Amino acid sequence: MGVTPQKRKGSPGAIRVGPARWSYAEWAGIVYPARKPRGFHEATYLAEFFDTIEINTSFYHPLNPEHCQQWIGRVSANPRFVFTAKLWQKFTHESGAGAEDERAVRAGFDVLRDAGKLGAVLLQFPFSFHRTPENTTRLKALLKQFAEYPLVVEVRHATWNDKAFYTLLHERGVGFCNIDQPLIGRSMKPSERATAGVAYVRLHGRRYDSWFSDDPAMPPSERYNYLYSEEELEPWAARIQHLAESGDSTFVITNNHFEGKAIVNALQLVRLLSRAKVKVPETLRENYPQLDQIAVEPAAQPLLFPIPKKLTRGST
């Protein structure tokens, strides 16, 4: 959902709030209807409530240009909608990416960019990616390689909390990703830093017990099984407002996806930022009744025992 209008001189830039990814098996019957109508698509559905979604599949493999074109059409009913997308992990987490890999990545990104639907490309690095001369050189090379896209960098280790790093991003016109994550060891702490016209926020949840767990019995999704309280979201709403005052566009991505918690918190953030009640998916409200407090419309609650027709006519 759009929170602020297009930026005017002296006014805040647009804030777009939405989830990371739209396809999770456990969202059926929680976020989405258990029985989906014919022609249903998750991105189309979410675009009724949000103005952005972070594409996650691009982290695992290059995007199919035809799929990108289809996605543009699926969200076309919301003219404010803009995607963001992760860079392929072969560039950020691995080594050996070549020219053909770069061409494959660009093919999908270019479809979104040329349609005006690519708000940011996120270079997400792991906690193990510390600030060293070698890693700084690697980062500089990637920023140059993909410089024509609106880039944002997410780092998780506190060695990057350094003036020289932020100056690098600013000089390259690259955004900094402000994150909320479990503060374990030298984790990057919450911030409200803008280094370019595009500002970015990602909320990962605060599952301290599972964030770095190597327990094979614990499903990976447990890392993101966390529901922020409104009290926890309020400081972030203030940070987001400050970020919007300094940039053209601010993207806020909720990544605590387990059982639709990212959607709940995204809606709550829109409410905090807009100070207005919001449209809420009915299926989600059935699973998270606390959303009644921020919903613009009352819940559709079918009666267990329908009223006889004669009573609906005022008969006794």
- What tens digit of pLDDT does each residue of 15-33 get? 999 999 999 999 999 999 9
Of 137 and 221, which is predicted with more confidence?
A: 137
The pLDDT of residue 247 is 80
Give the model's pLDDT for residue 234. 98
Average pLDDT over residues 293-302: 82
CA geometry: angle 18, 241, 206, nearest 5 deg: 55
305 dihedral zone (left: phi>0; alpha: psi -120 to 50; beta): beta
Q: Mean of the pLDDT values across residues 299-307?
A: 52
pTM (two decimals) = 0.91
250 close to 243: Cβ distance less than 8 angstroms: yes
Question: Residue 138 has which token pair?
Answer: 């690697």
276 Cβ partners below 8 Å, 6+ apart? 296
* pLDDT value at 5 more than 60: no
Q: Alpha carbon 29 to chain centroid distance?
A: 21
Please say if the pLDDT value at position 309 is more than 80. no
Query: What was the pLDDT predicted at 3?
Result: 59
Quote the percentage of the chain above a pLDDT of 70: 91
Percent of the chain having pLDDT more than 90? 82
Q: What is the pLDDT of residue 80?
A: 97
* Closest C-alpha among 58, 57, 41, 45 to residue 18: 45
Q: Is residue 252 over pLDDT 60?
A: yes
Burial 43-58 (b: 16+ CB within 10 A, else e): bbbbbebbbbbbbbbb
What mean pLDDT, rounded, does the chain reach? 91
Q: What is the pLDDT of residues 96-114, one digit of tens each?
A: 899 999 999 999 999 999 9
pLDDT tens digits for range 210-239: 888 888 877 888 889 999 999 999 999 999
CA atoms within 13 A on the CB side of 210: 16
Position 7 pLDDT exceeds 60: no
More confident residue, 182 or 246: 182
pLDDT tops 90 at residue 57: yes
Mean pLDDT of 181-188: 95
